[in-house]
């Protein structure tokens, strides 16, 4: 079972397998584990992103790549931590580049007025 600060990888993988086999009874538990994982990764790395948007984007990506998980290639915990971390890096980078473009545009407009 998932506790407040820990995800049992064996249970995590069982839930993933059952969910992929069509067992909806594990969906609440499974997505609770994903939520905990997303929250912990966001907290540990302190990304300066909109939290709600980032969580939604991470869930969308998780749903998209869920079928790609193969326990023979490593643990679910490591696989999905990497997926989430890479997605948060991408979101952060896009946000930062967009903010820089806006600042450069504002600087350009300001210099044209002078």
pLDDT of residue 90: 92
pLDDT of residue 105: 82
How many domains does the chain divide into?
A: 1
Considering the domain boundaries, does residue 3 fall inside one?
no
Burial class (CB in 10 A: 0-12, 13-18, 19+), 88: buried
Domain around 69: 9-113
φ/ψ of 4, rounded to 5, equals -60, -40
List the structure tokens of 25. Answer: 């009874």
Considering the domain boundaries, does residue 52 fall inside one?
yes
Give the CATH number for residue 104: 1.10.1740
pLDDT of residue 114: 66
pLDDT along the chain (114 residues), means of 10: 67 97 97 95 86 94 96 95 95 80 82 78
pLDDT of residue 19: 97
Q: Please give the model's pTM, rounded to 2 decimal places.
A: 0.78
């Amino acid at each position: 079972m998932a506790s407040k600060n820990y995800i049992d990888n064996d249970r995590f993988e069982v839930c993933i397998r059952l969910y992929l086999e069509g067992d909806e009874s594990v969906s609440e538990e499974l997505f609770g584990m994903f939520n905990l994982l997303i929250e912990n990764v966001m907290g540990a790395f302190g990304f300066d992103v909109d939290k709600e948007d980032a969580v939604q984007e991470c869930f969308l990506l998780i749903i998209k790549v869920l079928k790609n998980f193969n326990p023979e290639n490593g643990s679910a915990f490591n696989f999905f931590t990497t997926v989430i971390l890479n997605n948060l890096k991408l979101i952060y980078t896009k946000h930062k580049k967009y903010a820089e473009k806006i600042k450069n545009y504002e600087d350009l407009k300001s210099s044209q007025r002078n």
